[in-house]
């Protein structure tokens, strides 16, 4: 007796819990969105004419996919992001770049001239990222990937270098990729120097070749953040994918604490 009533109550209870969880998720997402917008207000400067609003929004949407903690770390070291019209080398922050710095490589290692490119991360005490406003980012995932690649460079070069033992955890990832039965992970992420290294990597080797390591980190970060390329990283370099997963969940918080303590 009363069995049906119990079942009905149980179903109602489950639905109530489901609604409650959904509400909590929505609140969490809203809080994260507000947090992200607040950080972006501090670090992103829009230098685009009014009629170019669609192009500006496409560039802003790219940045909204970057974890807010990454942008917070960038803010903590005084970093700025400029969204600009046209030739990025004309921006005041890049005017004094030497000629050799104006020859760059994209994420695939292809040579590019900076005045024909659309994004550049300038290192330094207070790093600068200059992004050309463009609607292309919506459809052209390769362009989006290169923007995240430059953000990854800043992350590895200007932020992680300020943190204790940045390579220890990454070392296992690199050696797993190096010793894999196929070369897919190496082909995706490694520089030629890393591919040619005859033995397992050591912390000493990585510290002496920090540019090579930073390059791998920047590529892995870009593939992880750009939604259409994330599966590529998971398929060809699962260790790097898992590292980025943990990095986004745990490492960034620890890194933020270290930066705040400095």
Tens of pLDDT along 87-130?
999 999 998 889 998 999 999 999 999 999 999 999 877 889 99
pLDDT at 158: 72
Q: Residue 261: pLDDT band by 50, 70, 90 thresholds?
A: low
pLDDT at 191: 93
* Burial grade of 17 (CB within 10 A; 0-12, 13-18, 19 or more): exposed
Is the pLDDT at 74 greater than 80, yes or no? yes
Mean pLDDT of the chain: 86
pTM, two decimals, is 0.83
Residue 21 lies in a domain: no
Residue 117 lies in a domain: yes
pLDDT at 53: 77
Query: Over the stretch 4-25, which tens digit does the pLDDT of each residue have?
Result: 667 677 777 777 777 777 777 6
CATH number of the domain at 225, please.
Answer: 3.40.390.10
Residue 30 lies in a domain: no
Residue 17 lies in a domain: no
User: What's the number of domains the chain is made of?
Assistant: 1
* Segment of 61-65, 186-190, 256-260 carrying the highest mean pLDDT: 186-190
Range of the domain at 158: 38-261
pLDDT at 34: 85
Residue 62 lies in a domain: yes
Q: Which residues touch 229 (CB under 8 Å, ≥6 apart)?
A: 141, 145, 222, 223
Residue 145 lies in a domain: yes
Residue 5 lies in a domain: no
pLDDT at 67: 86
Q: Residue 169: pLDDT band by 50, 70, 90 thresholds?
A: confident
Residue 127 lies in a domain: yes
Provide mean pLDDT across the span 46-66.
85
């Amino acid at each position: 007796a009363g069995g049906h009533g119990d079942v009905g109550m149980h179903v109602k209870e489950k639905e109530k819990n489901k609604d409650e969880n959904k509400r909590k998720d929505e609140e969490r997402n809203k809080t994260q969105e507000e947090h992200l917008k607040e950080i972006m207000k501090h670090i992103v400067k829009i230098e685009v004419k009014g009629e170019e609003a669609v192009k500006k929004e496409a560039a802003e949407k790219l940045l909204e996919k970057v974890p807010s903690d990454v942008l917070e770390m960038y803010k903590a070291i005084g970093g700025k992001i400029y969204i600009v019209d046209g030739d990025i080398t004309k921006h005041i922050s890049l005017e004094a770049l030497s000629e050799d710095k104006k020859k760059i490589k994209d994420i695939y290692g292809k040579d590019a001239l900076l005045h024909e490119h659309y994004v550049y991360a300038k290192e330094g005490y207070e790093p600068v990222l200059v992004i050309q406003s463009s609607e292309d980012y919506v459809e052209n995932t390769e362009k989006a990937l290169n923007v995240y690649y430059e953000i990854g460079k800043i992350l590895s070069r200007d932020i992680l270098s300020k943190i204790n033992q940045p390579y220890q955890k990454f070392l296992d990832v690199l050696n797993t990729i190096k010793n894999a039965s196929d070369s897919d992970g190496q082909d995706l992420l490694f520089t030629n120097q890393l591919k040619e290294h005859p033995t397992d990597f050591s912390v000493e080797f990585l510290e002496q070749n920090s540019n090579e390591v930073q390059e791998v980190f920047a590529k892995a970060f870009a593939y992880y953040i750009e939604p259409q390329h994330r599966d590529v990283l998971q398929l060809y370099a699962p260790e790097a994918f898992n590292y980025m997963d943990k990095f986004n969940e745990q490492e960034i918080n620890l890194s933020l604490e270290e930066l705040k303590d400095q």
